[in-house]
């Protein structure tokens, strides 16, 4: 707790008080209590997951972890609405609606909401396809998509919209097809061309995904110079100009997006070389680094985007996480089905 206070002296927007110290001690007590209650069983589950050579066991563990992460993300930061006036305030803020406005600059927020709703349902659809028959899995997917929107209804910071339910159902059905209809994709994933095409699509779409968030181009020479120098700020300082919730979701989103690129490079190496290949690994880190530099440079010229040179390290960490996870899962998949 004391260390947290000392560290926050260097970040001006952060509050420094004894409350932080008290919160740290409370966190230590809660963590110790959680370990006493669930620690040994969680450790055994994690060890079994990492040491298992069964594809189905690994898949089950990953989907369970992904489902838990999506559920926590949908409820975080747990700022519950405690009165009708707060619920009305949430509605006035545009976080409670029947449909999303897509005119003007609202189209990006609408597409982002639909994508998030679809992606968080993918592990649920995969799990239901793995455990249930189709006649039970499909209705369960539909009910889960509705339940997610209802769960976010009393969370003030979360958006709840009826038009995100169909997006969630489509995401769940995609996960169900991935598991329930393996013949649709089993032969495709053995082809290195599929993984290479995915890499090419990511290389094109990732810069666009970041740049389209901007509203206008920066044309003033002095402002451009200031934004270039601002890109060289200390590590992660920019994230502290927003709330902790926005900072964490921003970091998790960047890591998650570039982890997809890591999985694609892992799949390409497995399908073409049968194992990790140094040239493919070096190429992956090089491509990620170049993409990161291009994204940050382009953000210098797009308002109100903020360029940060340290985000390149975040992108590389995301790629590394995806590559490790991809090799861990695909090793048993290619062993079971052949290359």
pLDDT tens digits for range 189-236: 777 888 889 899 988 888 888 777 777 888 888 888 888 888 887 777
pLDDT at 19: 57
Q: How far is CA 212 from the centre of its chain?
A: 19
Q: What DSSP line would sit under 92-111, residue for residue?
A: HTTSEESS---STTHHHHHH
Structure pTM?
A: 0.70
Q: How far is CA 123 from the centre of its chain?
A: 13
Locus of tokens 């920019």 = 238
| Interacting residues of 228 by C-beta distance below 8 A, sequence separation 6+ | 300, 307
CA separation for the pair 210, 232 (Å, rounded): 19
Can you give the three-state secondary structure of 319-335, one letter per residue? HHHHHHHHHHHHHHHHH
pLDDT at 39: 74
Q: What is the pLDDT along the chain (339 residues), one digit of tens a residue?
A: 566 666 665 655 555 555 556 666 767 777 777 777 777 777 776 776 666 666 666 677 778 888 888 888 887 777 777 778 878 887 887 777 777 666 655 566 677 778 888 888 988 988 888 777 778 888 898 999 898 888 888 888 788 888 888 888 998 888 888 776 666 666 777 778 888 898 999 888 888 887 777 778 888 888 888 888 888 877 776 666 666 667 777 788 888 889 889 988 988 888 877 667 788 888 999 999 999 999 888 888 888 788 888 889 999 999 998 888 887 777 666 555 544
pLDDT tens digits for range 90-122: 788 777 777 766 665 556 667 777 888 888 898
């Amino acid at each position: 707790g004391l260390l947290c206070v000392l560290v926050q002296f260097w970040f001006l927007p952060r509050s420094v008080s004894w409350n932080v110290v008290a919160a740290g001690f409370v966190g230590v007590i809660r963590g110790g209590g959680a370990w006493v209650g669930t620690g040994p069983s969680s450790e055994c589950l994690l060890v079994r997951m990492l040491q298992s050579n069964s594809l189905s066991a690994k898949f089950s563990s990953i989907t369970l972890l992904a489902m838990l992460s999506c559920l926590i993300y949908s409820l975080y930061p747990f700022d519950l609405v405690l009165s009708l006036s707060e619920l009305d305030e949430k509605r006035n803020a545009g976080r409670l609606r029947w449909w999303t406005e897509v005119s003007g600059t609202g189209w990006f927020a609408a597409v982002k909401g639909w994508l998030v709703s679809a992606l968080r349902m993918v592990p649920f659809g995969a799990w239901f396809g793995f455990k249930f028959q189709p006649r039970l899995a499909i209705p369960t997917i539909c009910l889960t998509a509705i339940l997610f929107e209802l769960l976010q209804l009393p969370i003030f910071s979360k958006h709840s919209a009826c038009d995100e339910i169909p997006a969630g159902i489509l995401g769940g059905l995609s996960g169900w097809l991935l598991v329930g209809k393996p013949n649709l994709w089993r032969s495709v994933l053995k082809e290195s061309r599929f993984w290479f095409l995915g890499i090419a699509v990511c290389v094109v779409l990732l810069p666009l995904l970041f740049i389209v968030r901007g509203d206008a181009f920066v044309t003033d020479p002095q402002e451009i110079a200031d934004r270039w120098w601002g890109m060289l700020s200390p590590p992660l300082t920019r994230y502290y100009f927003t709330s902790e919730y926005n900072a964490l979701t921003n970091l998790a989103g960047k890591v998650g997006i570039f982890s997809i690129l890591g999985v694609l490079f892992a799949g390409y190496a497995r399908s073409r070389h049968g194992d990790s290949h140094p040239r493919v690994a070096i190429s992956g880190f090089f491509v990620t680094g170049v993409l990161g530099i291009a994204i940050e440079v382009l953000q210098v010229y797009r308002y109100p985007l903020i360029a940060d040179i340290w985000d390149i390290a975040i992108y590389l960490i995301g790629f590394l996480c995806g590559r490790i996870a991809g090799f861990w899962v695909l090793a048993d998949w290619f062993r079971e089905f052949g290359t």
